[in-house]
Chains A and B, each alone.
Chain A
Amino acid sequence: MKNYLGSANTTFLRFKANTFLVLVAACFTLSACTENPKDENETLGTSTPNGFFGNMQSSDAFTPVKRGNIVELPRDHMSHPDFQLEWWYLTFVLSAEDGQEFGLQYTLFRFNTEQDAPSSAKANANAKNSAEGSAESNAKSNYNSSAESSANHSSEDNRHTNANSHIARNWTDGQQWMGHASLHSAEQHYFEERFASGGVGNAYVNQQPFTAVIDDWVWKAAQAEVQTGAESKAMFPSVLTFAFEQSNAHHSVKTRGKIPDPTADSLSELNNAPGVSAVKVALNLNTSGPFIKQGDNGYSKKTQDERLRSYYYSQPFINAEGTLNIEGNSVEVTGKGWFDHEWTSHLANSEAMGWDWFSLHLDDGSKLMAFRMHAMNENMKNSKSKHSEIFTTASYIAENGTKETIEQANISITPTAYETINEGESPRSVPTAWRIQIPIKDIDVSISPFKENQWNNSLFPYYEGRVEIKGSHSGSGFMELTGY
């Protein structure tokens, strides 16, 4: 496991690309890529993430992201199972009445494990299909039709014979779900990661009402029936409830209970679950602005040449209020939330090496989404040097909800300070303080972490934490750094 985590550490990127399964395999073969991060820093004058999404090429088997296809809501709140990966990402900047500040994250990831079946299995499948004609054209026509009706997809029967392998799956539908829950208080960090198979019934994203579920972590829209055109009502208002992390307080009971108490059921001493979680979250979510389709109507390019791209929309105007119960102590909190939904078949790729991502709530009511994508292109792969191509972009969202895409030339995102993270096998240097300059918007802010070590030590670890904004604007938000 150590080896495995060690190499995996360098591999995880935000959306974790392909199933982590493939990543594991990938990181073994590609571990050579991780060498000499210092060289890169010198030549680029900046920190370059030394990771990658995975070894796998974007498979033709998955539905591609096309510029012409417009993101439509509420239809596209749904899961898009024919795309390789997808995520629903909620982050919150919360404050309690007594002045305590919190950073909260709830994320649901979906991976299509079906179509990245191993070459041998695929060969089999292809052999099968080739009897009737090109496997690819078959697949593509499938996906186009399914993309159109993607809204219905999740309600479709779980147990389908998959297109890629003729061996029926009777337990899962070939999808894999991963949930992340994280809470940062000033002193504590609670984090839990969960996995589930799709089609079993304990992890899904459903419509009417919108529900995003993994086990007992539930995000559910209040409105059961969605009227046509009532775009925003489909997802908000909604209720988010989840409880995570084993409570520490409970362990003490265990150790104390060595001498069996004849009057008490000893089993109940050991475990109280459900109900032993350290953190219980119950938030009511509402919005004060529209959904924002990032990029070109939701078509978001991640590199200049658009070979890395995704569908991407956000809801940056979430108002959250509710209760955090931390180790038995309830705190009433209010704050702002940010929702991202993104799906793609193009990021599970060794070319995608990681990114630095910001979702910022500025104090004037405007919002800023900005990222720096680290990618590798064909030339770089072939050449010995491991320079990565950096693509920077941003969306400036005014208080009234109008969005403006900031092109690479007009924005500069530079790390200003590094933090050493000592989780995992070897310490890693992560840029946790940044300067973001967008002259055309008169924005020049410095970003500093809410606290140290906001590291999610998940199977594929990454930095995800609350940040504070100072400079031309102030405010707070979230920052995600992957590939370190």
Chain B
Amino acid sequence: MLRTLLLTLSSLLAMARHRPWEPLLIMAAIILANAGLVTVLLINEGATQGELLQSKQGLTLGSIITPADSRTRFTQSDYATLRKQGFTQLVAIAERDITLSCNASKPSTTLTLLGVDTQPLLGSAFRKRGFEAPAQNDSALSLSYLSQNANKFSEMENQQTPAGRELRSNSGGDFAVNGLIHPLTNAKLACHDTLNETNRKSAPSPYWPATVSAYVSSFAPQNTILISIDDFYRGGVTIENDESVKPVIHDNAKRAQEQQVKQQKAYVPLSGFIALSPLSQQHLTQIETLLGIPVKQTTSNTDNDTGSLPDSFRLNLWAMSGLMGVVALFIVLNALNLMYRTRLPNIIRLRQLGISQRILGSALFTELLVYCVISIPIGMFIGFQAASWLSPVINGTFTSLFNAVFVNPDVNLLFTFGFALTTTFISLVVFSLVSIVKLSNALTVTPVKKENALGQFAVGLISLCALLLLFIAEGFVSSTASALFFVTLLLLTSCALILLWLPIFSRLLTRFVPRQWPVFHYVIANMHLLSSKTRLAVCAFFIALTANIGMNTMTDSFRDATEQWLTQRLYAPFYLYTDAPLSRIETLSTKSSPPLALTPLLKAEGAVIGSHAQEETHKETCENSNSSPTYVSISSYPVHQNGKKALVLDDVINNDLNTVWREFTEGKGVFINQQLAFSLNAKLGHTLDIENIHLRKTANSSSSAINTSNEAYSSPQDKTTDPTQGSQSSSSNSNVFAVTPQWKVLGIYPDYGNLNGQILVPLPSFNRNDVLIRDQLFSGVMAIYPEPSIEANVIGDNKQSTYGKDILEQQLKSQLGEHREIALYTRQALLDTSMQTFDRTFVLTDGLNITTLLVAGVAFAVSLTVLSIGSAAQLSVLRALGVSQLKVKASLFAQYLLLCFISALLAIPFGVYLAYVFIQQVNRHAFNWVYPLSLNAQVILSSVGLSLFIVSLVLLLPLGKLKPKIDLRQEVQL
């Protein structure tokens, strides 16, 4: 029994060796499907883990207390005082920049060396409640490393610790320090192992002869090496500003040492205190009383600005991988068909030898299993490779633009393999059954098939109905899931339609091709015949191409929209990103040598509880009363002419920009972004109900202001015409607005990549008098442009503006102080960076597009081989008629290309429709924003061209092999 099975199997494998083409195709399809799946799986997993990582960035979760006046610094005794008064949630930190370099070839990296008082973190209060549960083990272990005072690593490494990185200071390695490094930062570093003190002219590098063993832990913030503050303040790094060196000199050698130390001393003050739990206003007041200096609390909100692009990116990936899977299935189906078709004679012989059907069946399945077992690991390996090859790219993409993290995920290899094997094998079995059944049906029944062609009229009617149904279905799309479902529906419907229309088209073509060119006529006529037999391949190609066109059009539209939007929005030649307080920057405009105008970006937060139509026309209110408020950020928008030019609005009341602009500048209304408009279902002219307007979480607590607008509770009439309200608020010190604007929606603007609602409020409406509040409102972004009087000289002159950038940078540095973080960008640089990042994001899409097309091409190639067996007789006739072999091949080639071309033509409208659905339905529901669909002929044509090119390449393979003559000795009549 087993022997028979083995014999059968070996004969099957021998057949496979004899005709290796089909088994290889099957294996290739399996490899492809698995590789694609694993890649997508890994990338998504990595992104998810990256997000998790970021959300549990241990230390940065808390808020930081610093002196309100940036010139004063906390001292060690301040710290002791606070802790002794019970502020045990405060942890002292200090930081300075260090440079990591490997050798001359690679550029060096600058990281922040962050010293944290790890002692309090070891306490039970921290261990128990401190941080998020998943991070807890990690952080505790990490901390134990930190407090390990040095070189115990030989032992520690026996434990399964995350890989460490040894960094030696260039001032010697005399004491060992344990440090933590964020996985992402670690990934960015290559061979960097020399730790240099930053060589700034102003500060000579301090004497800090450490060997840092940096352990990978998500507890550390990014771009930072976290060490204990004890190790931080060693050697020449001191916390005391005075130069009195301790007279603890034991001997001459030591004295010399001290001398050296003295030379390389660096005064590094405490950067602040991390508050492991945020402090209330009351506590801050208490701290201020204790220390005698005003303090402020800054909360790092790393979590909110990630935006939706990683999500859309992931969606994109999944869609592509799904397509790839489907197409791979098509290949397998085709290849199996072909393989069993060619084996049929041998199988019959085997049956005649008395091998039971059961054994034959199990031998066939075993053969499939062998293919699976061989090809799945290969596929997975390729997938892993691809993912790790792609991940640096993704890494960069994710971090630079979306502020999300991507890490290399660790995946259970065995589980993945088992899963892949089971699914692949099961689907293979199902497919082989399909083709076997089909084959045996063909053998047993052998019906004289009558072409049951539907009349053109019927086809037209059906198509019309299908399209109509599709349009109706689109109306019901109301969520992301249903939008995706609709995409599937669209693809399937279009597939069905293509199958209906292809014969008709080809028949039409046959009619038009004159009979003077017999070969060509044969080609067309035969193609019509083929079209019914190559359904699967055509479907695969069609779906791949439609998706391709849809995806590319969507991406292209997005790119256009983004670029246009950015170009218009970035109106100033320079943008300054800084951590300096607004009050200090504002003095710049007066001091700078060419007079500059500065426009800061101010931000506040609020909650929108709903919107309602203008009361003047109809009394009924509250069209939409969301029970839960929508949190929005309220941003300032300049009211000068540049601002007006830069404003991009999708929708404007009465389409009258000038009127709207005037109303906006007068505070009679605001602009909202699409996201908010969609989520509130707010229309132009509606009035928003806003409450709880407050400073952002970074709020300086000595001025944490809450301006509860009464509007939410008062009647609509009051809302729109209440001039007293503004003045009332401005009388209070703790108000965001000097004059509260009316929350009437004047226009809706696009805000790509933002997940949250946003409201633009005229800049003058914000509080102008209170310096503290203004500093808090300031988002750290400032538009800088020349005074309008000399504007003409600078704008548009690229050379001059780069020249100006250096000058400006110097001026800024000199006025704000060296220690301030300043990043000055020219408009063009910002634009370029954004667009580069954008392009990099969608590199992967291109790759997947090509893969999908390739797979579709393979499907075609397979079906060609199947058919060439069937049409061997006709081809022989052609050859006998004296048509050259090349011509026969060319005619076959032309047939398939024509088939492809027709389906490509049909794919274009569906592709565009798909792009529209992607933008208007999927994007709309998943991310709450849409952008205009821009049809770019070049994009579409290049998609079509590329796909035809790929298919033709693939077709050349079997065609090259094809021998259009029959060896009668080989032929088995069935």
Contact = CB atoms under 8 A, between A and B. Distances in A.
Contacts of A172: 230
A201 interface: yes
B129 A216 contact: no
Interface string B45-89: 000000000000000000000000000000011011101111111
Contact of B151 (A29, A119, A128): A119
A171 interface: yes
B689 to A, nearest CB: 13
Kindly list the 5 A-B residue pairs having the minimum CB-CB distance in the complex, ordered from nearest. Answer: A201-B80, A274-B86, A118-B151, A268-B280, A171-B233
Contacts of B692: 260, 262
B79 A171 contact: no
Residue among B76, B136, B239 with max Cβ neighbours from chain A (10 Å): B76
B35 to A, nearest CB: 36
A466 to B, nearest CB: 20
11 contacts: A28-B158, A29-B158, A121-B150, A128-B254, A167-B234, A168-B235, A192-B125, A215-B83, A271-B279, A272-B280, A274-B86
Interface of A: 1-4, 19, 21-22, 24-26, 28-29, 113, 117-121, 124, 128, 131-132, 157, 159-161, 163, 165-172, 176, 191-197, 200-202, 213, 215-216, 218, 243, 245-246, 260, 262-263, 265, 267-268, 270-275, 457-459
A273 B286 CA distance: 11
B150 A118 contact: yes
A268 B155 contact: no
B342 interface: no
B233 A215 contact: no
Given A1-B141, A166-B257, A168-B261, A267 B279 contact: yes
Given A3-B159, A275-B86, A171 B76 contact: yes
A131 B257 CA distance: 14
A274 B128 contact: no
Given A21-B148, A167-B174, A262 B84 contact: no
Contact of A273 (B81, B88, B175): B88
Interface in B114-169: 115, 117, 119-120, 122-125, 127-129, 136-138, 140-141, 144, 147-152, 155-156, 158-159
A216 to B, nearest CB: 4
B87 A273 contact: yes
Contact of A4 (B123, B144, B235, B250): B144
A243 B281 contact: no
Contacts of B151: 118-121
B152 A118 contact: yes
A109 B129 CA distance: 23
Given A24-B144, A121-B175, A215-B86, A170 B238 contact: yes
Contacts of A25: 148, 152, 155-156
B706 A265 contact: yes
A271 B79 CA distance: 20
Given A160-B248, A195-B120, A121 B233 contact: no
Contact of A274 (B85, B125, B149): B85
Contacts of A215: 83-84, 86, 88, 120
B140 A1 contact: yes
A201 B258 CA distance: 25
B905 to A, nearest CB: 56
A1 B46 CA distance: 24
A102 B254 CA distance: 54
User: Size class of B's contact patch?
Assistant: 35 or more
A2 to B, nearest CB: 6
Nearest to B140: A1
Contact of A216 (B83, B141, B254): B83
B88 A128 contact: no
Contacts of A260: 607, 692
A132 B256 CA distance: 14
Interface string B221-241: 000000001101111011110
A159 B246 contact: yes
Interface of B: 76-77, 79-81, 83-89, 115, 117, 119-120, 122-125, 127-129, 136-138, 140-141, 144, 147-152, 155-156, 158-159, 174-176, 209, 229-230, 232-235, 237-240, 246, 248, 250-251, 253-254, 257-258, 261, 277-283, 607, 691-692, 701, 704, 706, 708
Nearest to B118: A195
Given A131-B253, A271-B277, 7 more contacts: A1-B136, A25-B152, A28-B159, A167-B209, A215-B84, A260-B607, A262-B691
Contact of A171 (B229, B253, B691): B229
Most buried by B among A131, A197, A459: A197
A196 B117 CA distance: 8
B251 A171 contact: no
A268 B285 CA distance: 13
B88 A161 contact: no
A383 to B, nearest CB: 24
B701 A267 contact: yes
A233 B747 CA distance: 79
Given A25-B155, A167-B174, A273-B87, A113 B149 contact: yes
A21 B174 CA distance: 20
Nearest to A197: B119
A383 B929 CA distance: 75
A272 B85 CA distance: 14
Contacts of B79: 200-202
A268 B85 contact: no
Contacts of B283: 271, 273-274
Contacts of A457: 124
Contacts of B246: 157, 159-161, 168
B150 A216 contact: no
A28 B155 contact: yes
B174 A121 contact: yes
A197 B87 contact: no
A165 B175 contact: yes
A118 B229 contact: no
Given A118-B151, A160-B246, A216-B84, A273 B281 contact: no
B891 to A, nearest CB: 71
Contacts of A271: 89, 277-280, 283
Contact of B149 (A21, A171, A268): A21
B456 to A, nearest CB: 63
A392 B898 CA distance: 100
A162 B740 CA distance: 62
Contact of A268 (B248, B257, B282): B282
Given A22-B152, A132-B251, A192-B124, A170 B175 contact: no
Nearest to A262: B692
A212 B281 CA distance: 31
Contacts of B77: 201
A25 to B, nearest CB: 4
Contact of A193 (B115, B124, B136, B232): B124
B76 A128 contact: no
Nearest to A158: B76
A44 B843 CA distance: 72
A279 to B, nearest CB: 12
Contacts of B708: 262-263
A160 B232 CA distance: 16
A157 B144 CA distance: 28
A124 B83 contact: no
A196 B248 contact: no
Contacts of B233: 169-171
A274 B277 contact: no
A217 to B, nearest CB: 9
Contact of B123 (A3, A117, A157, A192): A192
A457 B701 CA distance: 37
A29 B154 CA distance: 10
Nearest to B88: A215
A176 B123 CA distance: 13
Given A194-B123, A202-B83, A262 B230 contact: no
Nearest to B83: A202
Nearest to B129: A246
Nearest to A3: B159
